[in-house]
Structure 1
Amino acid sequence: MEVTVRQVTCRSDLRDFIFLPEKLHAGHPNWLPPFYKDEWTQLDPNKNRAFSYCDTVLLLAFRGSGIAGRAMGIINRRYNHHRSERSARFACLEAAEDDDSVLKPLLDYIENWAREKGMEKIIGPFGFSDQDPSGFLVEGFEFPPTISTYFNFEWMPAALERRGYEKEVDYVTYRIAVPDHFPEHYHRMFERIRRRGRLEIVRVHSKKEAEIWARPALRLMNESYDEEMIYGFSPMDDAEVESLLRRYLAVLDPRFLFGVRGFSLWNALFACVFVAWCVHRMKSRERLGLPRTMVTLIVVYFPIWVVCTMRGAMDVESINAYTEGYTVTTGEFLADNLFNPIKYMIPALMVFDACRNRKYLIWMVV
């Protein structure tokens, strides 16, 4: 039966768009639903500031009367102006089948839409900004996903390649089994740095405290990062900082939060650095019967000037204080293999026997 594509034009269509993945991935091992409140907010032009500087099109694919796929096209005008390029993006791509009968009309629509607006290439999956999930999983399907990543069908990357899409960039995640005892030289390294007065570990005991620390840390991202360090990076304004803060505060456990306060190594300015250990304890995980002791730890942000210092800041006593009474079985550091700062963290990860467990690709076609 022929597949037809039409735009999302009403709230009922948007509901179908948001909840389609749950239907398509029913019974798919390790797939977890998103936070649906966030999905409604992200796709509401009245609540998501990104719509003010992005052109968008939301699509549903129908086979007969049934919905067989979805996709979103995005043109971030602010990013394109900053980078002096003409690129569009596809995101939220889902299809019920791997025979191209659904993917082809969806991607045809977005590609034609982008060309009509003068775009020269399309990348994806990539959302409004680098803060949204990006990249299709190509390795590590046996591991549960994190809050900030896609979990696609295994056939999806090959389907894009058949259509002529090529690798634009890839990134990887590392899995860490948290030990009972940390290496002694890490204690000594941390104490040396602390005695020099360059570093202070600040314990965060509540979400209210976390909110106070997080605002300056998120704003510091604009000064610390650029496109050469984080693929697709786009500076955030105050409204976007507040929006991102609300999204992550909902899933933070205060027992796994701490801050690092110190002086900049390069410009002598005092700055607050917030390192968030995000505990992904979704109700959906409990419904799937996964162990409650499985915790996903993610270092979310760390400005480049503090990376070397952070190598000595993994104080076992501090970490044990936050994990007391809670069994932590795994931890993950989200790391793009193109991030310049990450190369300073890799030796630290290796001390904890970190191993690469997942790989994602962002694709491109001209």
Structure 2
Amino acid sequence: MSDLVIRPVQSKADRKRFVDLVWDVYKDDPHWVPPLKDEMLGLITPGKNPWFEHAEAAFWLAERGGRAVGRISAQVDRLVLEHMGEGIGNFGMLEIVDGETEAGPRLIATAEQWLRDRGMKTSLGPLSLSIWDEPGLLVQGFAQSPTAMMGHHRPSYQAIVEGAGYAKAKDLVTYELDIRIDMIPMIQRLIDAGNRSDKIRIRSVDKSRFDEEAHTILTLLNDAWSDNWGFVPLTESEIAYAGKKLKPIIYEDLVCIAEVKNEAGVFEPAAFMITIPDLNELTRDLNGELFPFGFIKLLWRLRKPRVKRMRVPLMGVAKKYQGGRLSAQLAFMMIERNRIASVGPYGASHGEFGWVLEDNQGMLSIAQLPGAEVNKTYRIYEKAL
């Protein structure tokens, strides 16, 4: 008889073991970047993460001989049910140590039963914990370290998930490109025309008005992404929470808002773009620990970060402006502005754009800049319960 035990995470100590497990899973993976433990604990703790205001989650550890060898989560989010469809539950945060063959199927079965008990008809994932955190399972791009806010997984997980009866629902892709390369003439002409227009202006955010600027950007995000597959709106609490987390890594010259003069002759927010230095380059050697000295090191590095890669985690054009020449014009104007800033004081040579839904033709046409290539693919799976 197997000595593998699947048990629920119930205590603070359990949550710590849940987070710490990934150090065992990826200890021999040179491309893994240790997450910040405080961030991970905050993500899965009700009362700290406002996601729990509209969702519930359960977490499990797989243990063999008292040692944690696997983990998983299952979630029911009222906003997913409202915006994606009734009966859709989620799983996520699946991790299994190398050589463990039994834990994966049993963890997945445990999460599925929890979803069935709550009336769910479909299991969709992995989402850790929502589409706004680390969505999808890495299925291509294992030989490159992840950028900030993106996941990294063992290649063996794909067979485990598919072996449990899951099929592809949607792929999310990221693009990498050499940002030292100038825009091609056709795109540059579009940018130059926008710069000459008296109906368009691109401005940097003002961190002295951070709460107001964050609300403007995240409200634009909710509008711009509202027709996308998998979209779940950020609540007011989540907007405030995200703003607080993003503030230390926001640099005014890397975040911009495009404004367009409306019919009343007033400039209104029409698009935004957030570029961040790849924080994984700055935190990798901290081994997940901010205290006692990691916090000081990180604060010092964030003062004037120098990185090889930049990442564009969020970008959007208000729905009323999507689908036409203006939408592409605003996007390329912001991209060029942030590209120049990234290469200059930050010393970056490459950028990562995404994630982007595999069938979002508008964003794909923008992401496919000269020299850009898909460097990672993350897959979201589904299964009827």
TM-score, normalisation: structure 1? 0.88
- Cα distance in structure 2, aligned partners of 1:18 and 1:129: 17
Report deviation, 1:241.
0.5
Report deviation, 1:317.
6.5
Could you tell me which of 305, 315, 318 is aligned with 1:301? Answer: 315
Q: Deviations over 1:57-95 (max 9, x none)?
A: 111110011110111110112321344410111111101
Map 1:102-251 → 2, pairs under 5 A: 102-179=103-180, 181-204=182-205, 207-208=207-208, 211-226=211-226, 228-229=227-228, 231-251=229-249
Percent identity, please.
22
- Cα distance in structure 1, aligned partners of 2:155 and 2:170: 18
Could you tell me which of 347, 350, 362 is aligned with 2:380? Answer: 362
Q: Deviations over 1:10-31 (max 9, x none)?
A: 1111111112112221121211
8 A contact 2:306–2:346 mirrored in 1 = no
Q: Is 1:276 matched with 2:292?
A: no
- Cα distance in structure 2, aligned partners of 1:215 and 1:170: 29
Could you tell me which of 332, 352, 357 is aligned with 1:332? Answer: 352
8 A contact 1:90–1:122 mirrored in 2 = yes
| CA distance 1:298–1:98, change in 2 (3 Å) | farther
Corresponding residue number in structure 2 for 1:256: 254
- The gaps in structure 1 that reach 5 residues or longer are none
8 A contact 1:170–1:359 mirrored in 2 = yes
Amino acid at match of 1:12: A
For residue 301 of structure 1, give the secondary structure of its aligned residue in structure 2.
Answer: strand
Report deviation, 1:224.
2.4
Q: Deviations over 1:254-285 (max 9, x none)?
A: 443333222469x9872253311111234333
Count, aligned residues: 357
Which has a greater percent of helix?
Answer: 2
Map 1:342-357 → 2, pairs under 5 A: 342-346=363-367, 349-350=368-369, 352-357=370-375
8 A contact 2:131–2:230 mirrored in 1 = yes
Corresponding residue number in structure 2 for 1:14: 15
- Cα distance in structure 2, aligned partners of 1:316 and 1:120: 45
| CA distance 1:184–1:315, change in 2 (3 Å) | farther
- Cα distance in structure 2, aligned partners of 1:68 and 1:85: 33
Report deviation, 1:149.
1.9
- Cα distance in structure 2, aligned partners of 1:135 and 1:19: 21
- Cα distance in structure 1, aligned partners of 2:381 and 2:339: 37
| CA distance 1:331–1:173, change in 2 (3 Å) | same
Q: Deviations over 1:304-326 (max 9, x none)?
A: 52632234415756643453233
Amino acid at match of 1:234: V
| CA distance 1:284–1:194, change in 2 (3 Å) | closer
Cα RMSD of the aligned pairs, angstroms, is 2.7
Give the stretch that moved more between structures: 213-222 or 65-74: 213-222
8 A contact 1:136–1:362 mirrored in 2 = yes
- Cα distance in structure 2, aligned partners of 1:139 and 1:176: 17
For residue 285 of structure 1, give the secondary structure of its aligned residue in structure 2.
Answer: helix
8 A contact 1:264–1:271 mirrored in 2 = no
- Cα distance in structure 2, aligned partners of 1:315 and 1:147: 19
Give the stretch that moved more between structures: 87-96 or 335-344: 335-344
- Cα distance in structure 2, aligned partners of 1:194 and 1:166: 46
- Cα distance in structure 2, aligned partners of 1:317 and 1:68: 46
For residue 314 of structure 2, give the secondary structure of its aligned residue in structure 1.
Answer: coil
- Cα distance in structure 1, aligned partners of 2:339 and 2:17: 43
Amino acid at match of 1:256: L
Corresponding residue number in structure 2 for 1:69: 70
Report deviation, 1:195.
2.1
Q: Deviations over 1:148-195 (max 9, x none)?
A: 221000111011111211111111111111125443444432221222
Amino acid at match of 2:345: G
- Cα distance in structure 2, aligned partners of 1:312 and 1:147: 23
For residue 297 of structure 1, give the secondary structure of its aligned residue in structure 2.
Answer: strand
| CA distance 1:24–1:208, change in 2 (3 Å) | farther
| CA distance 1:321–1:121, change in 2 (3 Å) | closer
- The gaps in structure 2 that reach 5 residues or longer are 288-304
For residue 71 of structure 1, give the secondary structure of its aligned residue in structure 2.
Answer: strand
- Cα distance in structure 1, aligned partners of 2:103 and 2:180: 46
Amino acid at match of 1:342: M
Could you tell me which of 333, 340, 356 is aligned with 1:320? Answer: 340
Corresponding residue number in structure 1 for 2:6: 5
For residue 147 of structure 1, give the secondary structure of its aligned residue in structure 2.
Answer: coil
Corresponding residue number in structure 2 for 1:30: 31
Report deviation, 1:209.
5.3
